Amino acid sequence: MADTGWPGCAKSLKGVILDLCGVLYDSGEGDGVAITGSIEAVKKLKASDLQLRFCTNETQATRDKFVAKLQRLGFDICVSEVFPPAPAAIAVLKERRLRPHLLVHDGLLPEFDSVDKTNPNCVIIGDAAEHFSYQNLNEAFRVLIGLEKPVLFSLGQGRYYKETDGLKLDVGVYMKALEYACDLKAEVIGKPSTTFFQSVLNDMGLQPHEALMIGDDLLNDVGGAQHCGMKGVQVRTGKYRPSDEMHPTVTADGTVDNLAQAVDMILNQRGQ
Amino acid sequence: MAGRRALKAVLIDLSGTLHIEDTAVPGAQDALNRLRQASVAVKFVTNTTKESKQNLLERLQHLNFNLHEKEIFTSLSAARSLLEQKQLRPLLLVEDSALEDFNGIDTLEPNSVVVGLAPDHFNYQTLNRAFRLILDGAPLIAIHKARYYKQKDGLALGPGPFVTGLEYATDCKATVVGKPEKSFFTQALTDVGCSPSEAVMIGDDARDDVGGAQNAGMLGILVKTGKYREGDENKINPPPHLTCDSFPDAVEHILQNLL
């Protein structure tokens, strides 16, 4: 009989999806720092017979830029393996013929170079960090409140994340602020949206039950993956807080100290 | 009014109702004087968190309104009494101009967060600091949760969106002390000594002024000045007792129908 619990489920896995920030590395000044054992753990996964993808709500830089950063930190990772929200957002804009007002990090702007931004009829917010000033939020607010049918896209809906100098508010907080101000509901592009996870599964050609998500965010990584039909494992690194293990609605299939431990447990189960 | 007792108090919002920034609503000063000649108590209740009572008083007197400091009841007054009652040391996200209403309150090593309308403090660093305090257990006190307010050059975000964001980040609920909280309206009537059913509120914010007052048992009159936008009167249930063009019309209605 198939073992459906963690870590027994690892025997029948065909693919693993990893979150980046808080699992591979902690962001902060410069490139941030790799989390102990993670570089080696990614290597081991790549050497195994499992497919590997990276699914991130990273929106402070273009995909090329932050993949290059991860490579500098020592990770074996390439652009085509990484799924961030911005390219998915651009596809939605094209499909619905929308012109965005952008409240995103300067580092992300080049992703939108080819997008028509004149006379905006929607707003996209990403993790703009220090660009989340009163003035910039107000500008986004005024665009929305001036539209007959305001449309707000949020690249992720995270509450906070950890940088080397402490916890920082994430885009979800500002999404909620604008939702409240304009009395609307944002459309989330990125984790935990099922569409977003599904696009990664499609790329691997796998069914949800054949894949496992490992992340540090209980709601967006673990809860989102589980909602989509995957298993979700939480690491005790990054933004993890002990209270996550007593969450009223989301229970991880497994909780491990870090990525290295998760990968060793998976490969052990598979006799590799 | 059938089923209601005679009117004893009129609560009046300031910004957007009596004035918009440095301009009085036309006819508002005379209307206030006419109201004062009737036998009702008048109180000025405001969620204006940028300014201390003294600032508000000076601004309104400068616009030729006839009022006294003791007639003003603000959400800052309500916040201060909550801090004192719970002996909390706040991180104050309020404009410098409002700080005088917190004179004497200990703010060293804060163990609570007070959010008012503070464009200068609503930046990434300060909000992160507030967030970390709340995550460590500091209570979040919101002076009010207004969505937005009107400036000369257009609408601008109020404290509500930032409070909502912090609530979401920390999975906690703010204690709101200003309008539209029931406690705010009843506290404002304390020194008048009348019950909510003997009072009427006039304001430009359908939810916070009119909805809040009606929820506390008062009548609510919505004026179409300030932040009013077409259709606002349909956003609350029950609807406003009356919706009218501006403050002088509201006073006329009170003098003719409610006394």
Q: Buried b / exposed e across A162-171, counting CB within 10 Å, b at 16+?
A: bbeeebbbbb
Q: What is the mean pLDDT of chain A?
A: 95
Q: How does pLDDT run across A82-108, given as a tens digit for each residue?
A: 999 999 999 899 999 999 999 999 999
Cite the DSSP H helix spans in chain A. Answer: 38-47, 63-72, 85-96, 134-145, 171-182, 194-204, 224-227, 259-269
A61 with A155, same domain: the answer is no
Q: How far is B73 from chain A (nearest CA, A)?
A: 25
Q: Where a domain ends, among A189, A208, A237?
A: A189
The pair of structure tokens assigned to B8 is 């004893």
Residue B20 gets which letter from DSSP?
E
Mark which of A189, A214, A232 sits at the end of a domain: A189
Give the β-pairing of B154-157 and B219-223: unpaired
**The pLDDT of residue B5:** 66
Q: Domain range holding A94?
A: 85-189
**A148 within some domain:** yes
Does A38 or A58 have the greater pLDDT score? Answer: A38
- Indicate which of B147, B149, B151, B168 best probes the interface with A, i.e. most A CBs within 10 Å of its own CB: B168
**Buried-state track A133-158, b at ≥16 Cβ within 10 A, e below 16:** ebebbbebbbbbbebeebbbbbbbbb
- In this predicted structure, the answer to whether residue B3 has a pLDDT above a threshold of 80 is no
Decide if pLDDT at B32 tops 90: yes
Residue A33 has pLDDT above 70, yes or no: yes
Q: Which residues of A touch B162 (CB under 8 A)?
A: 177
In this structure, the answer to whether residues A89 and A177 fall within a common structural domain is: yes
Q: Where are the domains of chain B?
A: 9-47+180-258, 87-176
Question: CA A117, CA A34: separation in Å to the nearest integer?
Answer: 36
Q: Are A247 and A218 in contact (CB under 8 A)?
A: yes
| Same domain flag for A76 and A89 | no
Task: Determine the pLDDT at residue B2.
Answer: 46
For residues A108 and A164, state if they share a domain: yes
Sort out which chain A residues have CB atoms less than 8 A from B119's CB and list them.
Answer: 134
Q: Where does a domain end: A134, A164, A189?
A: A189
Confidence label for B239 from pLDDT (cuts 50, 70 and 90) = very high
Domain B9-47+180-258 falls under CATH 3.50.50.60: no
Report the C-alpha gap between A179 and A181 in whole angstroms: 6
* Domain identity same for A205 and A78: yes
Q: What are the pLDDT digits (tens) for B43-55?
A: 999 987 778 899 9
User: Token match 């305001």: residue?
Assistant: A150
ipTM of the complex: 0.81
Q: Which of A203, A237, A252, A253 is nearest to A19 (CA)?
A: A237
* Chain A residues close to B155, C-beta within 8 Å: 141-142, 145
Chain B residues closer than 8 Å to A134 by CB: 119-120, 122-123, 157
Q: How far is A169 from chain B (nearest CA, A)?
A: 6
Q: Which of B96, B170, B116, B165 is nearest to B138 (CA)?
A: B170
Mean pLDDT value of segment A6-29: 94
Q: What is the pLDDT of residue B1?
A: 44
Question: What total of structural domains would you count in chain A?
Answer: 2
Q: Is pLDDT at B204 greater than 80 in this prediction?
A: yes
Q: Residue A40: give its domain's CATH number.
A: 3.40.50.1000
Q: Does 3.40.50.1000 match the CATH number of domain B87-176?
A: yes
Q: Identify whether residues A185 and A209 lie together within a single domain.
A: no
Residue B234 contacts A where some CB pair is shorter than 8 Å: no
Provide the 8-state DSSP code for B171.
T
Q: Let me know whether A92 and A181 are in one domain.
A: yes
